[in-house]
């Protein structure tokens, strides 16, 4: 059934009559941008409602991240369009079958029939289940375990891809939450960010890196706890604030976690890159279930904090939107959003509740415990789904919370409605609706097998074709914002060194006006020998460092085109280690990685030697000509790739990944589709409304005419009876004319009734035809815009000469290790890519 961007969650429920109405409850998906809370006791039908909502999101191509602490939401992957007993058999409860003295085949057959009947009663065809499987990719992730797809948490320590200065407050709060979660793993609890020196130290290490756009990993963090990259914290030096001995103990605690075999599953698998968890590389939506039932409370809090922080960072990098972009679903928030305490995850959850709406990210928070809940935090929630509650205390606490969070609550009405709720019957309070509604949830398309265990997760992922994503090679068309081009192999072949007599202890002067650099000694002698594939010199041999001149050239190409959404920088670097006297260079043969210019000021190694400068290094004109030639080479060889969708007028430069671009196309197509669908639906709805008005009048006419026919027949029968009596009574005349008149009036009333019934049938047929035409029109719009979203192409953009900006050009002193081997002097590079 077509629902026009609405979620089909069930049918309206008449609480007085205690029965379900035929009218469907269609929930506007855009209402979910203001978030939703679902409450209900065990057995209330809460899980079924949640599965229904997530199924509808999948059908509408809305991606979702789902936190599953109990294993219930894994049922979302149990989709069987053919409804065959063999599909259900692996998932039915074997213990229940034994208790009922039945075989698994019997239970599977009964379950398949139950689901076929249930779906049929709720108007759900197998094609809709098939559409659910085709619309979205599903997978189960198991952080801290390899039962499902493992989750690599190291990405959570990387610097967010958003500017520090304009997001300082949010990033510092993210750092605080991440640090509290990390310290919780080592057993430190009740961390006060202002008083805890451990928190202050780690937070400053994170801030020091993230300010500079530098990533952290656990190994680097452990080393920097021992040797912080700053001298002071506040007005005290680091050793006074946090003595070295105590820092060593903290680093050992952190190292114990990293070294533990059980922790290795935390640093392999899918990284917490939210765009990859929400969409495939082709732009297809994903629904990702994070199964955390196997984790202890500390590990759960740690992971939930990291996941929410990753979502927030991703969200901040998106453009604003009024449409629903993604769903973050949390199946049991007990302990994460308490009214008094502030666990690590609560802070970021609060920010998301306040700010996620602007980015089209809707939260769905679920709990069976309405008592330990921060209702003030949930005052930003637009929709409340309330099911049957366990105790009177639960109901009164909920009413108190709603009264405080929503204001102006008709408490008596809500009290009465909640008290009358039964299984699968929910009260929906929606700020976008005029009044609360009662409804019964529809039959879930997914098989509700109950909580699944960790041992069942591999089979579940196999069922939907989910697998650990391979380490994808970089997209050939995608170049990072600062491009690391392929580096020259500097140590492939050892060279026979020139006589040491040809070196000087004083560095020669380079020509005036030419930049000069000293490359750092970044390789040990052992590493240099290993890279060259030769044995280390005999014991007692100490390699000498000799600096030789090389040519270092670097330029930045700036691409800025608002039409193509291109805002991108490409860096080209050449490190020329060999050059002839004619000053002719094939720049493409000497491409190198961008250099860390903070290391180019390192002092040279003591007692090093220098080889003399020879042309063209000693000739300023040759060097200037080479600089111009390098600029021309960069101009001629540089190009940026722009992805485009002409039909949608969506463009993206290389700073946007292929998956992000396809997501943008999908969102643009969805908005255009929604506009057209709304217009077409309104047109049909107006026609249907007019016909329904006529139908109501015609139905009323049928009722009136039926009453008229009944009355006329009674009169006719009365007249006949009177005449019959007159035949047997003396002096009574039979009134044949009256009898004939009554018969004629009865026939006339029946004719009018038949005409009214025919009109009702005709109008009903028109409604059916128009409804079918409407569904077909909506489907045609969906299909058309789906094709448009995939009409993507690529083109190359070349820079203007003014966009090629020189960074550095000059003589770089290149360190070489020189030593004697088998009577021959050998030199090996002492510098490698940093």
β-bridge mates for residue 495, sequence order: 827
* CB contact at 8 A, 399 and 416: no
Cα–Cα distance for residue pair 240/259, rounded to 1 Å: 29
Residues whose CB falls within 8 Å of the CB of residue 290, separated by 6 or more in sequence, listed in order: 65, 66, 67, 68, 141, 142, 143, 151, 303, 307
> Which single residue is written with the structure tokens 């006719």?
716
Tens digits of per-residue pLDDT, 179-208?
Answer: 988 888 888 877 888 889 999 999 999 999
pLDDT in tens, 349-380: 999 999 999 999 999 999 999 998 999 999 88
Contacts for 630 with CB less than 8 Å, ≥ 6 apart: 553, 555, 574, 585, 587, 809
3-state secondary structure of 149: strand
551 phi and psi, to 5 degrees? -110, 120
For the chain, percent of residues with pLDDT exceeding 70: 90
Confidence bin at 488 (pLDDT 50/70/90): very low
CA atoms 531, 532, 535, 537: torsion sign: negative
pLDDT value, residue 737: 61
Nearest 10 degrees: Cα torsion 602, 483, 665, 130:
-90
Q: Shortest CA distance to 5 belongs to which of 49, 76, 59?
A: 59
Distances (CA, A) of 451 to 150, 277, 441: 20, 23, 20
Q: What is the pLDDT of residues 769-809, one digit of tens each?
A: 998 998 899 999 989 998 999 999 999 998 999 999 998 99
DSSP 697: H
Q: Rounded to the nearest 5°, which phi and psi values hold at 42?
A: -60, 130
Cβ atoms < 10 Å from Cβ of 370: 26
Backbone angles phi, psi at 560, to 5 degrees: -140, 110
**How confident is the model at residue 697, as a pLDDT?**
87
Task: Give dist(CA 285, CA 276) in Å, integer.
Answer: 10
Question: Buried b vs exposed e over 748-758: b needs ≥16 C-beta within 10 Å?
Answer: ebbebbeebbe
| Percentage with pLDDT > 90 across the chain | 50
Listed range (206-220, 483-497, 679-693) with the worst mean pLDDT: 483-497
Closest CA to 364 of 323, 333, 401, 397: 333
CA separation for the pair 132, 76 (Å, rounded): 10
CB-based contacts of 326, cutoff 8 Å, min separation 6: 62, 63, 64, 65, 278, 360, 361, 362
The SS3 call for residue 759 is helix
Between the alpha carbon of residue 473 and those of residues 364, 476, 477, the distances in Å are 35, 8, 11
Evaluate if residue 423 carries a pLDDT over 50: yes
What CA–CA distance (Å, rounded) separates 385 from 376?
Answer: 17
Distances (CA, A) of 108 to 26, 115, 472: 32, 11, 40
Confirm if 814 and 546 have CB atoms less than 8 A apart.
no
**Would you tell me how many other CB atoms lie within 10 Å of the CB of residue 696?**
12
pLDDT at 495: 52
Task: Give per-residue burial for 551-570: e unless 16+ CB within 10 Å, then b.
Answer: bbbbbbbebeeeebbbebbb
Q: Sheet of 64-68: strands edge to edge?
A: 19-28, 6-14, 437-441, 425-430, 383-386, 36-39, 361-367, 326-330, 64-68, 286-291, 137-141
How much is the average pLDDT of 96-121?
94
pLDDT digits (tens, 9 = 90+) for 434-470: 889 999 999 999 999 999 999 999 999 999 998 755 5
Average pLDDT over residues 221-233: 86
The C-alpha R_g of the chain, in whole angstroms, comes to 38
Distances (CA, A) of 694 to 345, 477, 698, 753, 763: 57, 61, 6, 16, 8
DSSP state of 18: T
Distance (Å, rounded) from C-alpha 286 to C-alpha 61? 8
- Map tokens 């706890």 to a residue: 225
Using the predicted structure, report yes or no on whether residue 492 has a pLDDT greater than 50: no
DSSP assignment, residue 28?
E
- Residue 490, pLDDT above cutoff 70: no
Strand runs (DSSP E) across 349-472, as ranges? 361-367, 383-386, 425-430, 437-441
Q: What are the Cα distances from residue 725, in Å, to 158, 473, 500, 647?
A: 104, 104, 148, 87
pLDDT of residue 162: 84
Question: How many other CB atoms are there within 10 angstroms of residue 173's CB atom?
Answer: 18
In the prediction, which pLDDT does 406 show?
72
Please state whether beta strands 151-152 and 270-271 pair in parallel, antiparallel, or not at all (unpaired). Answer: parallel
Q: Examine the pLDDT at 611 and tell me if it is beyond 70.
A: yes
The SS3 call for residue 403 is: helix
pLDDT given for residue 342 in this prediction: 83
Q: What is the mean pLDDT of the segment spanning 242-262?
A: 88
Pairing of the two strands 19-28 and 361-367: unpaired
Residue written as token pair 């939401």 = 73
- The model's pLDDT over 394-406, given as tens digits with 9 standing for 90+, comes to 999 999 888 877 7
Q: What is the DSSP letter of 15?
A: T
DSSP string, 558-590: EEEETTTTEEEEEEEEEEE----TT----GGGG
Contact 449, 464 (CB under 8 A): no
Kindly give the pairing relationship between strand 361-367 and strand 151-152: unpaired
> Over the stretch 261-308, which tens digit does the pLDDT of each residue have?
888 888 889 999 999 999 998 889 999 999 999 999 989 999 999 999
Can you give the pLDDT at residue 501?
45
Q: How much is the pLDDT for 739?
A: 58
In this model, does residue 656 exceed pLDDT 80? yes
Helix (H, G, I), strand (E, B) or coil at 198: helix
Measure the CA–CA gap between 749 and 536, rounded to whole angstroms.
115
In sequence order, the 6+-apart residues with CB closer than 8 A to the CB of 452 are 71, 74, 75, 460
Q: Which residues pair with 126 in a beta bridge?
A: none
Give SS3 for 252. helix
Cβ–Cβ under 8 Å, residues 33 and 383? no
Residue 536's φ and ψ, nearest 5 degrees, are -70, 145
Q: What are the tokens at 697? A: 């009048």
CB-based contacts of 397: which residues, under 8 Å, 6+ apart? Answer: 370, 371
DSSP state of 388: -
| pLDDT for the residue numbered 727 | 63
pLDDT at 824: 79
Q: Which of 141-145, 192-196, 404-408, 812-816 has the lowest mean pLDDT?
A: 404-408
| Cβ atoms of 181 and 257 closer than 8 Å | no
The DSSP secondary-structure symbol of 444 reads P
Euclidean distance between CA atoms 693 and 304, whole angstroms: 53
Q: What is the pLDDT of residues 498-537, one digit of tens each?
A: 444 467 766 787 888 899 999 999 888 888 888 888 777 7
Mean pLDDT check: name the lowest of 256-260, 370-374, 397-401, 703-707. 703-707
Give the model's pLDDT for residue 496. Answer: 46
Q: Report pLDDT for 573.
A: 93
pLDDT value of residue 326: 97
Which among 498, 452, 584 has a CA at the least distance from the CA of 91?
452
d(CA 65, CA 70): 15
How far apart (Å, rounded) are the C-alpha atoms in residues 804 and 570?
A: 10
Outline where 83-158 has alpha helix (H): 85-88, 94-99, 104-121, 126-135
Q: Mean pLDDT, the chain, as a whole number? A: 86
Compute CA distances 713 → 736, 741, 742, whole Å: 16, 12, 8
The pTM (predicted TM-score) of the whole model is: 0.68
Q: How high is the pLDDT of residue 249? A: 92
Q: Which residue has the higher pLDDT, 758 or 731?
A: 758
* Residue 56: band (very low, low, confident or very high) from pLDDT cuts 50, 70, 90: very high
Cα(707)–Cα(690) distance, rounded to whole angstroms?
26
């Amino acid at each position: 059934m077509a629902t026009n961007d609405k979620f089909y969650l069930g049918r309206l429920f008449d609480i007085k009559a205690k029965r379900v109405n035929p009218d469907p409850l269609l929930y506007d998906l855009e209402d979910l941008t203001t978030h939703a809370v679902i409450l209900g006791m065990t057995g209330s039908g809460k899980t079924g409602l949640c599965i229904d909502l997530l199924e509808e999101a999948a059908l509408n191509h809305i991606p979702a991240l789902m936190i599953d602490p109990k294993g219930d939401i894994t049922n979302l992957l149990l989709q069987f369009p053919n409804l065959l007993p063999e599909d259900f058999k692996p998932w039915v409860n074997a213990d229940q079958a034994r208790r009922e003295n039945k075989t698994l085949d019997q239970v599977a057959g009964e379950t398949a029939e139950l689901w076929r009947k249930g779906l049929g009663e709720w108007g759900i065809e197998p094609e809709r289940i098939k559409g659910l499987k085709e619309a979205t990719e599903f997978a189960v992730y198991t952080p801290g375990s390899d039962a499902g797809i493992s989750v690599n948490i190291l990405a959570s320590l990387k610097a967010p891809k958003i500017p520090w200065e304009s997001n300082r407050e949010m990033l510092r709060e993210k750092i605080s939450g991440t640090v509290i979660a990390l310290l919780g793993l080592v057993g430190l609890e009740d961390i006060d960010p202002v008083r805890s020196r451990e928190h202050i130290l780690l937070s400053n290490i994170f801030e020091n890196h993230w300010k500079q756009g530098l990533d952290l990993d656990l190994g680097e963090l452990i080393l920097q706890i021992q040797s912080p990259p700053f001298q002071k914290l506040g007005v005290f030096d680091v050793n006074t604030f946090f003595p070295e001995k105590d820092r060593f103990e903290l680093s050992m605690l952190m190292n114990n976690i990293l070294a533990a075999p059980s922790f290795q599953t935390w640093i392999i698998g899918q990284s917490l890159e939210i765009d990859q968890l929400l969409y495939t590389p082709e732009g297809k939506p994903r629904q990702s279930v994070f199964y955390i039932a196997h984790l202890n409370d500390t590990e759960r809090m740690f992971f939930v904090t990291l996941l929410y922080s990753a979502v927030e960072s991703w969200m901040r990098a998106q453009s604003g939107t009024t449409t629903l972009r993604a769903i973050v679903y949390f199946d049991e928030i007990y302990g994460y959003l308490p009214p008094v305490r502030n666990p690590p995850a609560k802070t970021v959850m609060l920010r998301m509740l306040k700010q996620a709406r602007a980015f089209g990210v809707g939260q769905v928070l679920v709990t069976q415990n309405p008592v330990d809940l921060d209702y003030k935090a949930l005052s930003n929630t637009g929709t409340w789904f309330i099911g049957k509650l366990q105790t009177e205390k639960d109901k009164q606490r909920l009413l108190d919370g709603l009264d405080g969070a929503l204001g102006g609550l008709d408490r008596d009405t809500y009290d009465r409605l909640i008290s009358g709720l039964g299984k699968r019957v929910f009260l929906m309070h929606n700020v976008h609706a005029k009044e609360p509604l009662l409804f019964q949830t529809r039959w879930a398309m997914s098989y509700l097998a109950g909580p699944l265990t960790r041992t069942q997760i591999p089979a579940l992922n196999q069922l939907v074709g989910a697998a650990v994503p391979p380490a994808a090679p970089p997209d050939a068309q995608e170049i990072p914002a600062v491009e690391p081009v392929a580096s020259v192999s500097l140590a492939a072949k050892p060279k026979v060194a020139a006589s040491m007599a040809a070196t000087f202890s004083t560095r020669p002067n380079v020509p005036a006006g030419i930049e000069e650099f000293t490359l750092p000694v970044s390789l040990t002698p052992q590493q240099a020998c290993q890279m060259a594939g030769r044995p280390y010199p005999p014991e007692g041999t100490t390699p000498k460092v000799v600096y030789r001149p090389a040519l270092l050239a670097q330029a930045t190409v700036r691409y800025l085109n608002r039409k193509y959404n291109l805002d991108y920088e490409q860096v080209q670097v050449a490190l020329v280690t060999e050059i002839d006297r004619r000053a002719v260079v094939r720049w493409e043969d000497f491409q190198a990685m961008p250099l860390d210019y903070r290391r180019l000021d390192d002092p040279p190694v003591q007692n090093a030697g220098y080889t003399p400068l020879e042309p063209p290094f000693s000739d300023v004109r040759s060097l200037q000509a080479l600089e111009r030639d390098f600029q021309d080479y960069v101009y001629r060889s540089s190009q940026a790739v722009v992805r485009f969708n002409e039909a949608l007028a969506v463009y993206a430069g290389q700073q946007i990944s292929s998956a992000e671009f396809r997501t943008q196309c999908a969102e643009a197509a969805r908005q255009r589709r929604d506009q057209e669908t709304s217009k077409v639906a309104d047109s049909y709805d107006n026609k249907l409304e007019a016909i329904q008005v006529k139908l109501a009048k015609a139905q009323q006419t049928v009722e009136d005419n039926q009453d008229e026919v009944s009355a006329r027949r009674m009169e006719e029968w009365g007249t006949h009876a009177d005449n019959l009596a007159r035949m047997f009574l003396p002096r009574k005349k039979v009134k044949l004319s009256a009898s004939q008149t009554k018969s004629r009036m009865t026939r006339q009333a029946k004719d009018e009734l038949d005409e009214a019934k025919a009109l009702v049938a005709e109008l009903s047929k028109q409604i059916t035809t128009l409804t079918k035409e409407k569904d077909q029109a909506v489907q045609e719009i969906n299909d058309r815009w789906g094709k448009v979203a995939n009409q993507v192409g690529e083109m190359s953009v070349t820079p203007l000469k003014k966009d090629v900006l020189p960074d550095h050009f000059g003589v770089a002193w290149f360190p070489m290790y020189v030593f004697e081997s088998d009577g021959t002097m050998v030199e090996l590079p002492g510098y490698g890519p940093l």
